[in-house]
Amino acid sequence: MLASEHDVEALTSSAAVAQAWRDPSRQARLARALSGFSEQPLDAACARRCGLLLARAGSSDIVDAAVALAASHGDTVLTSDPSDIQRLLDVAGTAAQVRAV
């Protein structure tokens, strides 16, 4: 994986994995890609932080909130929904770059 070749940590949320994961027998590329990621669980505390962030941002996408909360200052967030992620990062006060994929 490109991130590991450059000693960069790749992080995702269990919520994002749940949104994309359907049939492991047909998702070999996704499974290989995820093997290079650390996965932040959507536990009770994270779920509540997501809810609070969504309320403050006037948004409703739990997956976007979980990804935004997983990001740290200086990170680059890869997403197909850059405007929603950027709004959540702004509300969370996280200075991360957003890149559409």
The one-letter code for the residue type at 12 is: T
H or E stretch including 88?
helix 82-92
Whole-number average pLDDT of the chain: 91
Read off the pTM: 0.85
Left, alpha or beta for 93 (phi > 0: left; psi -120 to 50: alpha)? left
Give residue 32's domain range: 2-100
Confidence check: pLDDT of 62 > 90:
yes
pLDDT score recorded for residue 26: 84
Q: Which CB contacts under 8 angstroms, 24+ apart, belong to 54-57?
A: 54/88, 56/91, 57/87, 57/88, 57/91
CATH of residue 73's domain is 3.40.50.1010
Domain count, the chain: 1
